[in-house]
Amino acid sequence: MFDFVKIKNWWRSRKIKFYTSLLRSSAGSIGKNSLICPPFQSFNIKEMQVGNNTRISEHCWIQCIDNYQGKSFSPRLDIGNDVHIGRFAHIIACDNIKIGNSVVIAERVYISDNLHGFEDINMPIMKQPLKQAGPVIIEDEAWIGNGACILPNVTIGKHAIIGSNAVVTKDIPPYSVAAGVPAKVIKQYNPKTKKWEKLTIS
Q: Which residues bind ligand COA (CB under 6 A)?
A: 104, 106, 145-146, 161, 163-165, 177, 179-180, 186-187
Measured from the CB of residue 163, what is the shortest distance to ligand COA in angstroms? 3
**What are the contacts of 26-33 at 24+ separation with CB within 8 A?**
31/81
Measured from the CB of residue 183, what is the shortest distance to ligand COA in angstroms? 8
Alpha helices for the chain (secondary structure H): 4-23
Measured from the CB of residue 70, what is the shortest distance to ligand COA in angstroms? 39
Q: Which residue's Cβ lies closest to ligand COA?
A: 163
User: Which C-beta is closer to ligand COA: that of 46 or that of 198?
Assistant: 198
Q: What is the DSSP string of 74-123?
A: ---EEE-SS-EE-TT-EEEESS-EEE-TT-EE-TT-EEESEEE----TTS
116 among known catalytic residues: yes
User: Which C-beta is closer to ligand COA: that of 68 or that of 189?
Assistant: 189
Other Cβ atoms closer than 10 A to 184: 16
Which helix (H) or strand (E) covers residue 137, if one does? strand 136-138
Task: List the catalytic residue out of 84, 90, 116, 159.
Answer: 116
User: Which C-beta is closer to ligand COA: that of 145 or that of 152?
Assistant: 145
Give catalytic residue positions: 116
